[in-house]
Amino acid sequence: MNASVSPHDIQTARRSLDSAATVIVLTGAGISADSGVPTFRGRGGLWKNHRPEELATPAAFARDPRLVWEWYGWRRALVAACRPNEAHLALARWAADRSGVHLITQNVDGLHVAAARDAGTVLELHGSLFRTRCPGCGATRESRESIDASSESTLPRCDRCGDTLRPDVVWFGEPLDSHVLGRSFELAEQTEACLVVGTSGVVQPAASIASVAARAGAALVEVNLEPTPITTSANVSLRGRAAEIVPSLVG
């Protein structure tokens, strides 16, 4: 166990989670760091001198779809080689073994879904790297093939209308899926406990799911390597790696 996490804090957090009839688990990139997926704001957040904020936008796709797909193709290949870690697996077992647990993730890596026994129990706020969407007709589909971004003519195209497909992820400046977001806030308002794992807590509206839960009276437990804006509202904040701490909370 990480030296900065006391057994007393683990026990307190465990008790809050065990005694709650309903728990939401809000995760961010930190939960997948132990699987080898790079986080957004830490080291390795740069790609060929482009910042994600410059590539993950509708304007960037309109300007240069080939460059945007080159980046997403690279990320898909990187993530496809990663497997769920002990934190994803422990949460998936927990959600399957007891009622009232809901997983809400900001991650687009699909690792919660890969670990889940029932993929329908995971709310993906920011979409999925492994789905495409047609900007023209809106059709979405699962997509795991490698991307040939050598020219615009080799990019994936819509079977129905021929438009160049885009990744089905939320880009900067775009709204989140209203059904997924509405359901997440509904759960946050009703939950008795909220476990927040590996998010910097700076991207809205996802980060406010935790504060809505806390304001509605939920016990808030945070797992992160560092303090975040969420830490001040947390009943227990555990400093350390998700793959190490989460199994001791929900195992």
Catalytic positions are: 126
Kindly identify the residues of this chain, within the stretch 232-251, that bind ligand OAD according to CB under 6 A.
Answer: 241-242
Candidates 61, 198, 236, 237; binder of ligand OAD (CB under 6 A) is 198
**Residue that is written with structure tokens 């497997």 in the block:** 83
Candidates 13, 25, 26, 34; binder of ligand OAD (CB under 6 A) is 34
Tell me the closest approach of the beta carbon of residue 30 to ligand OAD, in angstroms.
2
Q: Count the site residues for ligand OAD by CB under 6 A.
A: 24
Contact call for residue 35 and ligand OAD (CB under 6 A): no
CB 66 within 8 A of CB 151: yes
Contact call for residue 129 and ligand OAD (CB under 6 A): no
Tell me the closest approach of the beta carbon of residue 125 to ligand OAD, in angstroms.
7
d(CA 220, CA 237): 8
CB 221 within 8 A of CB 196: yes
Closest CA to 60 of 206, 177, 203, 169: 169
Contact segment (CB under 6 A) with ligand OAD among 110-118, 141-149, 180-188, 199-207 equals: 199-207
Contact call for residue 230 and ligand OAD (CB under 6 A): no
**Residue that is written with structure tokens 């438009």 in the block:** 163
d(CA 65, CA 166): 8
- Smaller CB separation from ligand OAD, 16 or 35: 35
How many C-beta neighbours within 10 Å does residue 41 have? 12
Contact call for residue 166 and ligand OAD (CB under 6 A): no
Which helix (H) or strand (E) segment is 229 a member of? none
Structure tokens at 122: 């995971």
**What secondary structure letter does DSSP report for 201?**
S
Contact call for residue 111 and ligand OAD (CB under 6 A): no
Closest CA to 17 of 236, 200, 242: 236
Contact segment (CB under 6 A) with ligand OAD among 14-22, 32-40, 115-123, 180-188 equals: 32-40
Which amino acid belongs to residue 64?
D
- Smaller CB separation from ligand OAD, 166 or 241: 241
Q: What is the dihedral of CA 25, 208, 217, 101, to 10 degrees?
A: -20
Structure tokens at 185: 């806030």
Binding mask 55-94 for ligand OAD (x = CB under 6 A): -x--------------------------------------
Closest CA to 130 of 149, 107, 152, 150: 107
- Smaller CB separation from ligand OAD, 26 or 95: 26
Kindly identify the residues of this chain, within the stretch 202-221, that bind ligand OAD according to CB under 6 A.
Answer: 203
Task: Name the closest residue to ligand OAD (Cβ).
Answer: 30
Q: Which residues would be at the binding site for ligand OAD (CB under 6 A)? A: 28-30, 33-34, 39-42, 56, 106, 126, 170, 198-200, 203, 223-226, 228, 241-242
